[in-house]
A = this chain, B = another copy of it.
Amino acid sequence: MSSTRDIDKLIEMMARLPGLGPRSARRAVLQMIRKRGQLLSPLAEQMAKVAATARECLNCGNIGTEDICDICRSEKRATGEICVVQDVSDLWAMERGAVFGGRYHVLGGTLSALDDIGPEDIRIPQLVARIENEQISEVILALNATVDGQTTAHYIADQLDGRVRITSLAQGVPIGGELDYLDDGTISAALKARRSI
């Protein structure tokens, strides 16, 4: 611990972030204090700004700073394709790949009997509504290749059967792997080789 309560408290708060522990939090805080003009003050301001403006897109569940996110608002994005992902981090991974030009639907989780998570808990009714309202021709299921991810993919495919073309990422997603851990090239290959379910 440092000799000051306010600094100790900042270290404790930083240590709770994913990827940081007590030791790395201490190093980060010391570094920030040493460069408080260039690092700590701007970071505090940017955090306050994001805290005040960040919200979930009412349409797709992406995180942005408006009620409807940049991707849903963009006229450059194809309107006929929806890529369904589990989390915002997966949407970000897809965007880094920069090979998908349509829009997204972020579930915010997967179906799970164990955790009592049903279709209404992961925005599936909203997805069904979008298929009806937005003239969607294809739904790409870009869910993790885990048991829960694939259970969710099959449930969605059953719900939408006959109303729209349903595909899933194919080549390149390793069994048991999570989308957010893949490199851009693998995501790109998997998207290009997508197949009908």
The reply to whether B6 and A46 contact each other, CB–CB distance below 8 Å, is yes
A33 CB to closest chain B CB (Å) equals 5
Count chain B CB atoms within 10 A of each CB in A19, A20, A32, A49 and give the residue with the most: A19
Count chain B CB atoms within 10 A of each CB in A44, A53, A88 and give the residue with the most: A44
The reply to whether A1 and B96 contact each other, CB–CB distance below 8 Å, is yes
The reply to whether A20 and B20 contact each other, CB–CB distance below 8 Å, is yes
How many copies of this protein are present in the complex?
A: 2
Contact with A7, one of B44, B48, B54 (Cβ below 8 angstroms): B54
Given A1-B92, A1-B95, A32 and B19 touching (CB < 8 A)? no
Q: Check: A114 CB closer than 8 A to any chain B CB.
A: no
Nearest B residue to A72, CB-CB: B3
Which residues of A are interface residues toward B (Cβ below 8 A)? 1-4, 6-7, 9-10, 13-14, 16-20, 24, 26-33, 36, 39-51, 53-54, 62-65, 69-71, 87-89, 91-92, 95-96
Contacts A7-B65, A40-B50, A41-B48 given; 16 further ones with Cβ under 8 A?
A1-B95, A2-B63, A2-B88, A3-B91, A4-B69, A6-B65, A7-B50, A13-B39, A20-B24, A26-B89, A27-B89, A32-B50, A41-B51, A44-B45, A44-B47, A45-B48
